[in-house]
Amino acid sequence: MTIRPTLRQLHYLCVLAQKGSFRGAAEACFVSQSTLSSGIKQLEDSLQISLVDRGSPQFLLTSAGETVLERAQILLRDVDDLVASVQQSESLLSGKFRLGIIPSVGPFLLPRALPSLRKAYPDLRLYLRESLTRDLLTDLRAGRLDAAVLALPYRMDDLCIHVFGRDRFQIAVPKGHDLCTKTMVAKTDLREETLILLEDGHCLRDHILASLKRGLNEGDDVHATSLITIVQMVANGLGVTLLPELAVRAGLANGLDLKLLPMEGKEAERELALVWRPHSALEQNCTPLAEHLAQFVGV
């Protein structure tokens, strides 16, 4: 009789690959290391292949292990979708929903949108995760998130995308700066300026550089880890930056020695979008969620 792999064994494999060690995987699964090792060995026996290269000093999956891992991740994601579809009530936006959001949007959109969302959908149990775009997309595709709020442009042809707002950029300069005399700033005005940007990996950094068509000397740029740090640096005369209007309206620059100026050109903006996996069991929740978030962009 053929012995089939169990979902528990496949889960052990996925966590093992994520943690990179048997000890870390066992802790994450709340089992002993021997229990997890036994589960992986039983999985190998049922498939009649080696999944882990035990001869390597570092944790490595075999080529077959990589193939099984990819299929296991898809299978477990589909099982989670099955469970979610059964538990999902007939009403929209109810039950557990795991939402990712990028750092340049979350602190400025969610405090305004969540109170009314909870009031309108009291049965919704929202779990939030803030992270960089690439990490959110990895979790979304792996089934660890149900949807994510991201900024476009960003290539993701395999996902469903609902654009719910446009977010223009404003130039932030210290008070007394030469640009303060202008009513509208052109990208050429920034060629000789020190531009303060978020660190590499933040999509806002990429969108700002794209809107300027990289018409500046990037070697002189200053990098920071958050928008809060950036506005403080600008206020202290260390450079200039571009801020999303969403953050400005939320009061990011309030009380600081800054002047905010509009930027010319229709390209000086980003699009805000909700993205999700096609055919997800919770897909029916995504459009009403995006429509709710849209009420708080541009106001």
- Looking at the structure, tell me whether residues 82 and 156 fall in a common domain: no
Same domain membership, residue 158 and residue 278:
yes
Range of the domain at 238: 168-269
Assess if residue 193 is contained within a domain. yes
Q: How high is the pLDDT of residue 189?
A: 87
Question: Do 47 and 131 fall into the same domain?
Answer: no
Q: Which of 60, 86, 112 is the last residue of a domain?
A: 86
Pairwise CA distance, residues 230 & 256, whole Å: 12
Do 156 and 172 share a domain, yes or no? no
Res 218 pLDDT > 80:
no
What percentage of the chain reaches a pLDDT higher than 70? Answer: 93
Question: Is the pTM of the predicted complex or chain greater than 0.85?
Answer: no
How many Å apart are CA 190 and CA 264, to the nearest integer?
Answer: 12
In a domain, 2, yes or no: no
134 in a structural domain: yes
For residue 43, the domain's CATH number is: 1.10.10.10
Residues with Cβ < 8 Å from 278, sequence gap 6 or more?
A: 158, 159, 160
- The reply to whether 213 and 68 lie within a common domain is no
Q: Is the pLDDT of residue 213 over 80?
A: no
CA distance 230 to 93: 36
Domain boundary among 56, 86, 116: 86
- What is the enclosing helix (H) or strand (E) of 203? helix 203-211
Residue 73 lies in a domain: yes
The mean pLDDT of 48-56, rounded to a whole number, is 85
One domain, residues 199 and 157: no
* Position 247 in a domain: yes
Residues 47 and 187 in one domain: no
Burial of 258 (0-12, 13-18, 19+ CB in 10 A): buried
Residue 122's CATH number: 3.40.190.10
Any idea of the CA torsion for 225, 227, 229, 230, to the nearest 10 degrees? 100
Neighbours of 124 (CB within 10 A): 17
pLDDT in tens, 140-182: 988 889 999 999 988 888 899 999 999 999 999 999 888 888 8
CA atoms within 13 A on the CB side of 226: 10
Shared domain check, 237 and 217: yes
7 burial type by CB count under 10 A (0-12 exposed, 13-18 middle, 19+ buried): exposed
pLDDT recorded at residue 87? 58
Per-residue confidence band for 215, with pLDDT thresholds at 50, 70 and 90: very low
Q: Which of 86, 113, 141 is the last residue of a domain?
A: 86
Does 54 share its domain with 110?
no
Share of the chain above pLDDT 90, in %: 46
> Left, alpha or beta for 128 (phi > 0: left; psi -120 to 50: alpha)?
beta
Residue 152 located in a structural domain: yes
Amino acid 104: pLDDT: 92
**To which H or E segment does residue 235 belong?**
helix 227-235
Tell whether 185 and 140 lie within a shared domain: no
The two structure tokens encoding residue 259: 């002047």
- Nearest in space to 185 (alpha carbons), one of 110, 242, 125: 242
Lowest mean pLDDT among 21-25, 94-98, 112-116, 166-170: 94-98
pLDDT above 70: residue 216? no
Domain check: are 108 and 160 in the same one? Answer: yes
pLDDT value, residue 190: 86
Query: Is 1 inside a domain boundary?
Result: no
CA distances from 1 to 9, 10, 40, 273, 286 (A): 19, 20, 20, 50, 44
Rg (the chain; Cα; Å): 24
Strands 160-174, 258-262: parallel, antiparallel or unpaired by DSSP?
antiparallel
Instruction: Report how far apart the first and last C-alpha atoms of the chain are (Å, whole number).
Output: 64
Please tell me whether residues 142 and 106 are part of one structural domain.
yes
Tens of pLDDT, residues 53-110: 887 777 889 988 999 998 898 888 888 777 666 655 555 677 888 999 999 999 999 9
Q: What local confidence, expressed as pLDDT, does residue 84 receive? A: 66
Number of domains in the chain: 3
Residue 276 lies in a domain: yes
